Amino acid sequence: MRIIYSRPQNQGRQIFGGLVKYDMPWRLGANEATEIEFFSVATVAGKTVKPGRHILYCIPQETKWTFVLNSNLYSWGLEQNRSKDLMQFDAPVEKYNMPIEYFTIACEKVNDNTTDLVFIWDEVKTKLTISF
């Protein structure tokens, strides 16, 4: 898989519940919509996803984020069209003790076939488990 996203900076702002509003869709970055591409069938948080390109956005809350795969490719920002939502996944939020200045998406290997796709910014961390 691959992820394409932009990395906004904290710059001393209140991020979650401030810049990024709770219960409102967020594009998971800045500028263009965040894109995820699967090169083979994947299992994301227990749900099967076919190969292909998707927009990935989330609806953050204090205790969980709802991630959404959407087929509205080539959109600037988040041109949200809920009719193009394909599936969604809930993930709990963890408090992170060391504030992170730049929004980061990274993979943490679980085993040979599984990775945690980690989303971290400021003092918030969440993840989606993906298997191939």
If you count them, how many residues does the chain have?
Answer: 132
Q: What is the pTM of this model?
A: 0.94
Closest CA to 122 of 31, 23, 8, 26: 8
Buried b (16+ CB within 10 A) or exposed e, 79-107: ebeeebbeeebebebeeeeeeeeebebee
Q: How far is CA 125 from CA 26, 96, 103, 132, in A?
A: 15, 6, 10, 23
At residue 80, does pLDDT exceed 90?
Answer: no
- Give residue-wise pLDDT tens across range 42-52: 999 999 999 99
